[in-house]
Amino acid sequence: MNTASRTLVRSALIIFAAGLCISCSEQSAPSASNTVSPSAAPADSSYDLRLDMQDFMNNVLEPVSDVLWDYAGWVDDINTGYEDLYPKTDEEWLLVKQKAAQLIEAGNALALPGRAVDNDAWITYSNALSTAAAFAYDSAQTQNREDFFQAGAQIYSVCTACHQGYNPEISRFASN
């Protein structure tokens, strides 16, 4: 998808997300700082936590959620007209279902002791990510386009809410 189209899709999601009530957005966010480091618990040798937060975001969360967003919506382009982006075949629905499953688990991985930055809002946002991903998973299972779109918007607002709480300098993400 070209940049203009992606921006359109993203804008549609943001507008949609603005109307959603995400419980964690009302939670008190911790004071902002530019660098975050895990402090919720001492590193636990049961887990391999070699990916730092940036690597985790860039190599786990972003590629997985990008696929979901690529399929969650439509584009209305002045040149090419209306383009529906939803999965069209069983194979495409299976692909987004698998990505949604990965995102459910990525939410868990975000909350691991030693990776979680605190035991408070961080855990709420991580859980909210898994919950929104589970919504995407269920709607992929039933191939429900409207729910799948809403799930994409919810995922986006969880990413944004956590970034606002922990690193407000992240104004753009998931773009390429």
The Cα-based distances of 167 to 24, 101, 102 in angstroms read 16, 26, 24
Provide the terminal-to-terminal Cα distance of the chain, rounded to the nearest Å: 10
Residues 37-76 that bind ligand HEC (CB under 6 A): 53-54, 57-58, 61-62, 65
Q: Of residues 126, 139, 154, 157, which one binds ligand HEC by CB under 6 A?
A: 126
Q: Which is nearer to ligand HEC, 15 or 76 (CB)?
A: 15
CA distance 76 to 84: 9
Query: Minimum distance from CB of 82 to ligand HEC (Å)?
Result: 26
CB-neighbour burial class of residue 140 (10 A; exposed 0-12, middle 13-18, buried 19+) = buried
Q: How many positions of this chain bind ligand HEC (CB under 6 A)?
A: 24
The contacts of residue 25 (CB under 8 Å, 6+ apart) are 157, 161
Query: Minimum distance from CB of 80 to ligand HEC (Å)?
Result: 27
Query: Minimum distance from CB of 79 to ligand HEC (Å)?
Result: 28
Q: Which is nearer to ligand HEC, 55 or 76 (CB)?
A: 55
CA R_g for the chain: 16
167 sits near ligand HEC (criterion: CB under 6 A): yes
154 sits near ligand HEC (criterion: CB under 6 A): no
The token duo for 31 is: 């004071």
List residues binding ligand HEC (CB under 6 A).
35-36, 53-54, 57-58, 61-62, 65, 110, 122, 125-126, 129, 155, 158-159, 162-163, 166-167, 170, 173-174
